Structure 1
Amino acid sequence: MKAVELEGVVKRFGTVTAVAGLDLRIRPGEVVALLGPNGAGKTTTIDMLLGLTRPDAGTVRVYGHAPQDAVALGLISAVMQTGGLLKDYTVGETVRLTAVLFGKPRAAVDKVLERAGISDIADRLVGKCSGGQQQRLRFAMALLPDPELLILDEPTTGMDVGGRHDFWTAIRQDASGGRTVVFATHYLEEADAYADRVVFVRRGRIVADGTASEVKALASGRTVRATLPGASTGDLTAIPGVESAEVRGDSVYLHGRDTDTIARHLLTATPARDLEITSRNLEEAFLTLTADAS
């Protein structure tokens, strides 16, 4: 059974089509980054997964259930950017109140506070917490029902570098235990470092879906660097698969989509050495693949 299945999903708001025939399948235990510019349809897609809005066409299933039923069964939790916190309660009181709603024991409260890294501020008023600490509190609350699917909308907003690292370490540990994670973020380095799959959305449609490396290669190819004294740009651009070439001293940089062919030629037909293949970064891929929506 798939954790998430969206098939032919369409959502319109008046004359605006926010999601235009989107198809997406996510396996249990995957960590998937949903990326796209503002207005690409990410938030609308998340809202449909949470049962907050219904598609005008197509189907949305979460672990085989309609989203509203999956929420009622405790299969889904979400960490949103804002809202949902009472500033005059302490961190501990907020989590204990949430635990009562889910019928969870005190031990569960202590566990999620520790998991979210906020045990040491359990007695602090929510209103006195930083933005990053409030995000960790939302994370702790989302963990209480022990969901199969965790949806994160800009989860590390307001966190410092150490907090973001600790947060994603906890997320990866959860995923290794079988929990599925879908997150939207503007921190592209987070998607590059922590997602199993990266999904780019443009104008309500998926334009790229794969590992970070696959998506980077799809958008802008890879670069082969090698030490090759005496090389000329003209000779290098004649190599099969090379789209552009640059010479820097004894080093050459060959850009193209079929870097296997380029590397094979360098190793068998030239005296090149110290060869390495690198991908462009995810930000370049993002700008290339979502340019029309911008």
Structure 2
Amino acid sequence: MMTCSILAGMLATTSAVADDALRSAIAAPNRNPASIARDGARHPYDVLSFLGVKPDSSVAEIFPLTGYWTEILAPYLHDKGRYVAVLGDPAGNDNERYYATFPPALQAKFAAAPSRYGNMRTAALGVHHLNFLPPNSVGMVLTFRNLHTWMGDSDVKPVLAAFYRALKPGGILGIDDHRARPDRKQDPQALDGYVREDYAIALIEKAGFKLVAESEIEQNPRDTTHWPQGVWTLPPTYRLGNVDHAKYQAIGEADNFLLKFRKVP
């Protein structure tokens, strides 16, 4: 019979191997230099560890955009897990067409490195394609800085319902977004790109999820949220161009909340 000490040692070894694999994926020299430059603001190791991503996890990432997380998750999950890049539905509205594919250079990069990205799969999500994966088929759905977009398009309720359907019972929904100040009334469309954390939690729990953990990994107290072009005033967008560029550079990327939910019956 296996003793508790042997079992604990095996679990510790497995955890250490997973940690090393994740750190290696983040430190890979072939990641986009622009993405690497953002690691200090996005904290990839801490974020993925908090969400509980393991080498054998099945993960659907919603709207990977420039592939920041794809370049980490696809290699990390390549051997034992499953990574699905959920792109926008080109038959939907203009916003979805923008997200319909990875940029050509990124697509070429993925195709040229099958040992890292060969097991990656894609799916489509949009208002006309909400059944983006079979029901109860993935253990985790992760989406980064997209909630405000769905609020602005009035798509948030059907999108959250789509996540619920795709997740296995007990599956995890990980979500972050730009945090609005709690003393400000929430704009239901989040037109400045900011969402109150309590508002987000209530919205997501109404869709059938239960909040299990919150994290301050991505906090930035320098972000007051009062900017002329909303969150896009700040890096990496710099919507004002050269106007007060140094000021906004010093503030850094937005203050974000990070939330972990579980699918419940």
Shared fold by TM > 0.5?
no
Which gives a bigger RCO, structure 1 or 2 (Cα 8 Å, sep 6+)? 1
TM-score normalized by structure 2? 0.32
Higher alpha-carbon Rg: 1
